[in-house]
Structure 1
C-alpha cells in the first residue's frame, strides 16, 4: 500500500496499552439488555461503552495531519524529478547508440546498458506491473516457454489446431505461443492466418522436416500457431518407422475416429493389413517363423481382406534365404527404406488435415513445371520436368530460336513438281519424290545441318506420289499416282531395286505401309482392293471392295487402318475370323491421314475443311486446326517435335503451317514456297529439322536459327553418338547454311511467326 492510499484511508485507531506497549485490539462485543448500550472489555478487564471508546479514538487521531500531507508531497516531487532525470539519461543513451549504429560501430557494453535500463524500469514500476513482468519473465526464460506448447495440447480439431477455446481461425494465442528473441508474449502482435496460408505454412514445415531442418520447422509451427500434423499422426509415424507394431496398431485405432464415417472403411482395413504385412515379413527376415505364422493365422487372416495376397504371403515361408525373400516379395528388407515406403502408402489413406501426403510441396512444384511445359508454345527441346534439373525461380519459356522456322537450305535438284518427302526412321536420310519420275535420297548431317544428294533412283513411269520407309531405314517403297498399277521396293544401302510389284494392270497402287517388324506391307488404291505383301513381292492376302486413300499398320502388327472413299477410317484384320469395324466417320472426303507413334492420334487432311485431329481409342474428334487452305489437292501432314507435341501441314496457299497439338491457332507460318506445298515431314530423331515439298519444284529444309539448339533437342531422341562437334563448328556451319539459303531470316515475334 503506497502513501496516497494510506493518506485517503481513515481507519479507527485504538489507544496503545500503557502496560504492554502494544496496540489494543477490540474484543468481542455484547449487548446490554437493560440500557441498550454496547460495551467493550479492555485488556485491563474494564468494560466501556461504544461512545466512550469512539471519544478516546477521536482524541488519539486528533494530531495534526498537515505534516503528513507535506511529507507525502515532498516524496512525490522527489520521485517525479528522479523519473525525469532517468528519462533524459535514457534518451541521451539511445541517441548515442543510434548514432553509433549509423556509423557502423558497435559498443561492447550495449547489452549491459539495456539490462540496466530494464532494471531501472523495474525499480520504478508499480508492484502490480512488477508481478506481471516477473510472470512474463518466467514464461519467457531464454526465449522459450515453460508451459506446454500448442503441439502438446490434448484437444485438436481436424485441421490440427488447438481447440481449447483460445485459438480459432488461425489466431495465435499470446498466452500460449512462446516469445521470440526474449520478447514478452504480452508485447507480441496477434497473427491471423487464413486457411490458404495455414496450408502453405504446413507444406513448408513438412519440406523443412524432410530435408533435415527440424528446429526450423518447429520454430515455424510455433510462430504461426499451426500444427504440421495431428499429434496422433505424429505418434503413428514414429512407431511405424521404429517398428513398434503394437503401438502403431493402437495409434491406428485413434486415427480411425478422424476418418470421415461416410468414407469407405476398407481403407482402414487396408492400412492395418499393410502394417501386419510388414510385421510378418520382418519376422521372416529375422528367422522367427513361429511368430510370422502367428501373425499370418491370428492377425492377417481374421481381417478377411485381400485374401489372394494372404495366400501369396504364406508361400514366402518356404524361402530358403533372405535374398530369395527380397526378390519374391519385391521388398527392401527390414529398415528405414522399407518402413518409409510403407509410411508413404499409409499416408494416402488419411485425410490431409490429419497427415499431409508425402512430399506434397515437391509434388505441387513438379505439377507446376509440367503445366509450364505444356503451355510453352515452342517447347521443342528434351527438357526434363524433374524439379531437381530446372530452376524454380523463373517460369519456363523455350525460345523460338530453337524451333525449325528458318529456311536453312533450298534443294532444287528435281526438274518438276515435288509431290512427296519423307525422313527415314533413323533421321539420317530424306527421300523426295517428284513428277519427274525420280526419287532422290539425301544424307542428313545432324551436326552441320547439311543435306547431300546421295543417290537418285529413277524408272518410275507415272511419277512418284508416295514413299514408305521400312522401320529399319534399309528399304523404301515407291508408289505412283492414281493411274499407276505398279510399286517399287528399293534397297537404299545397296542402291538397287529389290522387286517391282504389279498384280494387275487394272490396279491402282497409290499408298503403302510397312508393318512394325518390316517383314510385310500393305498396299492399295482407289480401284477397290488392298493387298498384304512381303518384301519379295508375294501377295499373301487381299481385301476386296475397299477403295483406299491411305493405309497404316497399328502397333499390334495385326490391325490395318484404311481411309476409304466413304469418308471413314476402318480397322481391318486378316486373322481368322476376319474382322472390320468403323473408327472415324467424317463429312467430307479424307484425302490423306497419318498416325502418331503412340498409335493413339490420327491426323486427317479433309477436303474443303482442312486438318482434323482424331482420337483413335475414344473414336472422337479432338481438334480442328485453323489457318490451312485445303481444297481437292492431295496434301500430306505429319506429327513432330519432342514427344510429337506439334503438327505441321502443307497448304494450297503456298505456306507451311505449324500448330501445337493442344491449340487450334497456328504457332508459326513458314513462307517461302511459290506454289502449293504438297507434303511436309518432321525429322523423327532430330526434331529441329523440317522438310517441305512443293509444286514449285523445290524442297525446303527448315531449322533453328541457332544450330546448337538442334543438338540439345536431338541428344535424347536418337543416336547421340553421331552428334559430336564443338560450338565453333556449329557456329560456322550455321552461318554457311544461312548464306546458302538466300532467304530472309527475320522473325516476327507475335502469336505466330511468318518466316520467309
Structure 2
C-alpha cells in the first residue's frame, strides 16, 4: 500500500487550526534529531532498556507503544519542547528518525539535490539487492521505502523542484539543461513535462501561479518533502505533525456527528462536543416588504453590515443589518434585476439586469458610477476580481458572453464567444473563473491567462454556481433536483445534496454557517433546505415563503451572514425577503419590515 501523508482533506475546514504539513524543521530540532541519531547509531525504532526493573508492555491501551512514543516525541518537537523530546527519546529508547531520513530531510530542505538523489538511488539499490550486499551500504544512505515507491516518480519530483527554482532565479539556460538532460530521460508524466516546458516562456510574475506555488521556495521544498514522504515507510519517517493531524481527525469526527455545528471556535479536547438545535437560526424574525414583485436575489456584504436584494420590480435595495433600514433603493434599470455582487471592500456594488445592462454603484451615496451597455442580451451575473480593480460580466449574448472591465468601463478582455452564460464565479484566490453554460456544462478558465482549463459536462442543466472561501470546491445546482459539491482541481463530485424541488426555475444555493459548515438552498416548493456539508445529512427543512405570483412560490436565493453565523436571509416569489435568526438572539429593532 502507498504510505499516506497523514493529512486530512478536511482538516483545514470548520474552524480547525492545522499545522501545515512539511513545515521547516527548526535548527534546534535538526540538531536534536541529528545528535540523537548519532548517539543511538541504530536503525529506526530499535528499543533500548530504560532502566526499569519491570518490562513495559508493548501495548498502550490497545495502541502500539513504539508508535505512540515516537508520535509524542515528534509532537514535543513541534511544540518547541526540544529538551523534553530528547529526554523522552533517551528514556524510551526510540528514535524519531533514522540517520538516512535526517540526511534526506536536510538535503531536500537545503536544496542539496545531488545528495538527495544519491540517498534515493542507493535506497532503491538496497531494496533490489540481496540482504548481504545491502547491509554494506552506509546507514545514512538507506531509506526504508514503501512497497509502491517509484524511483522515476521520486526523481522526477526532485528534478522538477530543481528546474522550477532555476526558473525562479531566471537562469533559463541551466533550467533548460535540467529539462533536457535530467527530467526528459526519466520518461515520466509526459503531460507534466510539456507543462514544465511551457514555463520557460512564462513571465516571472506569473511563474508561481502557473507552477502551483503559493509561497516562497522554502515552502515549496517543504511540500516536496511531504510528497516524497508518501513513498517512504512511516516506520522511519513519521508524516509531519502527526499528533496534530490525529487530533484534527478527532475534532473533525465530532463536527461530522454534530448536525447543528455552527461555530468557528476550536473544539476543546477535554470533553465531547455537541451543539444545541436552539443555537441554530430557525426562526423568521423579520419580513422585508420593500419590493413590489418577485425577489430573485439577496446577498450580505463581506463585513455583514449590509444586505442587498433585487428582483423583478427593476430595483435593487441596500439595507443596513442592525435595524434593516433601507439605505438606498437603486431604480435606474428598465427591467428585472437578476443578480448583484459586492466589491471586495464593500464600497461598490454591481447590478445585472434583463435590460442588457450592468451598473456599478457607490454603496455610500447610492449613485451610479458606471454603466456597461455592451451586451445585446440580458446580463445574468457579475463577479469582481480579488483586487477590486476590475470585474467580469456574464450574458446570454453568445457573441460576448464573458467580458472583463476596468472601473473606467474599458474592455480588458473578452473571452471567445459561442455559448451563453447564466452564472459565473471567480475563486477567492483569483486563480480561476467558472462560467455556467445554459447547456449542461461548466467552463473553467485560468483567470490570469484567460485560457480554458477544462469544460465539465454535467448530467443535467446547472442553474447556479458558487465557490467556497478556500477556493477548493464549487457548489452547483442542477435542474434534476440535486446539488453537487465538486472539487475544482480534480472535478470529482465530493458530495450530493438532495431533497429540494428544482427543475423549471433558477434556484441558488450557498455555503453558509460558521466556517461554511452548511449548504443551504432555496426550492420550488416554498421551502428552505439546510444540509450538513461534511456528511450530507439534511439538517432542516424550513417553510420559507408562501405561494407567490407563480403557483410554485419559489425561494429563489439564500445568503448567510458571513460575520454572524446566527443569521441568514431568503428571497422569494412572494415579494418578501425574510431574515432568520436563533431563538435565543435578542429581538431586532426592525424599521424596514414587520416583526413576526
TM-score by length of 2: 0.61
**Aligned-pair distance for 1:268?**
2.4
- Over residues 244-285 of structure 1, what are the superposed CA-to-partner deviations in whole Å (9 max), with x where a residue is unaligned? xxxxxxxxxxxxxxxx974998982499xxxxxxxxxxxxxx
Aligned equivalent of 1:368, options 239, 250, 258: 250
Aligned to 2:508: 636
Aligned equivalent of 1:435, options 296, 312, 326: 312
Aligned to 1:166: none
**Aligned-pair distance for 1:631?**
1.2
- Over residues 481-532 of structure 1, what are the superposed CA-to-partner deviations in whole Å (9 max), with x where a residue is unaligned? 3xx222222111122112332236x432222222222222222322312232
Aligned equivalent of 2:331, options 449, 452, 458: 458
Aligned to 1:566: 439
Q: CA RMSD in A?
A: 4.8
Aligned equivalent of 1:679, options 532, 557, 568: 557
- Over residues 461-498 of structure 1, what are the superposed CA-to-partner deviations in whole Å (9 max), with x where a residue is unaligned? 212211122112111121223xx222222111122112
- Over residues 690-724 of structure 1, what are the superposed CA-to-partner deviations in whole Å (9 max), with x where a residue is unaligned? 111011111111222333xxxxxxxxxxxxxxxxx
- Over residues 656-688 of structure 1, what are the superposed CA-to-partner deviations in whole Å (9 max), with x where a residue is unaligned? 111222223322222232121000012223333
| Distance in 1 between residues matched to 2:256 and 2:391, nearest whole Å | 36
| Distance in 2 between residues matched to 1:491 and 1:525, nearest whole Å | 23
Secondary structure, aligned partner of 2:324? strand
Show the 5 A alignment for 1:283-432. Answer: 364-384=246-266, 391-432=268-309
Aligned equivalent of 1:490, options 352, 356, 361: 361
| Distance in 1 between residues matched to 2:96 and 2:461, nearest whole Å | 67
- Equivalent pairs counted in the alignment come to 433
Secondary structure, aligned partner of 1:533? strand
| Distance in 2 between residues matched to 1:563 and 1:231, nearest whole Å | 51
- Over residues 530-550 of structure 1, what are the superposed CA-to-partner deviations in whole Å (9 max), with x where a residue is unaligned? 232233333344333221111
| Distance in 1 between residues matched to 2:368 and 2:503, nearest whole Å | 36
Q: Identify, as 1 or 2, the structure richer in helix.
A: 1
C-alpha change, 1:212 and 1:493, in structure 2 (3 Å) is same
Aligned equivalent of 1:537, options 389, 409, 422: 409
| Distance in 2 between residues matched to 1:533 and 1:356, nearest whole Å | 50
- Over residues 552-602 of structure 1, what are the superposed CA-to-partner deviations in whole Å (9 max), with x where a residue is unaligned? 2345657532222231111346988x6334332112222221122222211
Show the 5 A alignment for 1:738-749. Answer: none
C-alpha change, 1:647 and 1:201, in structure 2 (3 Å) is closer
| Distance in 1 between residues matched to 2:589 and 2:96, nearest whole Å | 69
C-alpha change, 1:359 and 1:231, in structure 2 (3 Å) is closer
**Aligned-pair distance for 1:159?**
7.2
Structure with more contact order per residue of length (Cα contacts < 8 Å, sep ≥ 6):
2
| Distance in 2 between residues matched to 1:581 and 1:232, nearest whole Å | 41
Aligned equivalent of 2:538, options 647, 658, 666: 666
C-alpha contact (below 8 Å) 2:293/2:573 kept by paired residues: yes
C-alpha change, 1:205 and 1:693, in structure 2 (3 Å) is closer
**Aligned-pair distance for 1:628?**
1.1
- State yes or no: 1:509 paired with 2:379: yes
| Distance in 1 between residues matched to 2:454 and 2:72, nearest whole Å | 55
C-alpha change, 1:659 and 1:496, in structure 2 (3 Å) is same
Q: Identify, as 1 or 2, the structure richer in strand.
A: 2
| Distance in 1 between residues matched to 2:508 and 2:82, nearest whole Å | 53
Secondary structure, aligned partner of 2:545? coil
C-alpha contact (below 8 Å) 2:526/2:555 kept by paired residues: yes
Secondary structure, aligned partner of 1:415? coil
C-alpha contact (below 8 Å) 1:229/1:356 kept by paired residues: no
Aligned to 1:444: 321
Aligned to 2:579: 701
C-alpha change, 1:373 and 1:177, in structure 2 (3 Å) is same
| Distance in 2 between residues matched to 1:581 and 1:204, nearest whole Å | 41
| Distance in 2 between residues matched to 1:229 and 1:374, nearest whole Å | 35
C-alpha contact (below 8 Å) 1:205/1:228 kept by paired residues: no
C-alpha change, 1:267 and 1:555, in structure 2 (3 Å) is farther
Aligned to 1:229: 94
Secondary structure, aligned partner of 2:254? helix
- Over residues 103-145 of structure 1, what are the superposed CA-to-partner deviations in whole Å (9 max), with x where a residue is unaligned? xxxxxxxxxxxxxxxxxxxxxxxxxxxxxxxxxxxxxxxxxxx
Secondary structure, aligned partner of 1:571? strand
C-alpha change, 1:212 and 1:658, in structure 2 (3 Å) is same
Aligned equivalent of 1:471, options 332, 344, 355: 344
Secondary structure, aligned partner of 2:337? coil
- State yes or no: 1:579 paired with 2:451: yes
C-alpha change, 1:394 and 1:494, in structure 2 (3 Å) is same
Secondary structure, aligned partner of 2:500? coil
| Distance in 2 between residues matched to 1:492 and 1:228, nearest whole Å | 66
C-alpha contact (below 8 Å) 1:202/1:228 kept by paired residues: no
Secondary structure, aligned partner of 1:678? strand
C-alpha contact (below 8 Å) 2:462/2:476 kept by paired residues: yes
Secondary structure, aligned partner of 1:544? coil
Secondary structure, aligned partner of 1:566? coil
Aligned to 2:472: 600
Secondary structure, aligned partner of 1:372? helix
C-alpha contact (below 8 Å) 1:608/1:632 kept by paired residues: no
The gaps in structure 1 that reach 5 residues or longer are: 1-153, 164-175, 180-189, 222-226, 238-259, 272-305, 310-328, 331-346, 385-389, 708-732, 744-756
TM-score by length of 1: 0.49
- Over residues 184-210 of structure 1, what are the superposed CA-to-partner deviations in whole Å (9 max), with x where a residue is unaligned? xxxxxx997657364588579979997
**Aligned-pair distance for 1:377?**
2.9
- Over residues 179-237 of structure 1, what are the superposed CA-to-partner deviations in whole Å (9 max), with x where a residue is unaligned? 8xxxxxxxxxx9976573645885799799979999x999xx9xxxxx5538999xxx9
| Distance in 1 between residues matched to 2:314 and 2:244, nearest whole Å | 59
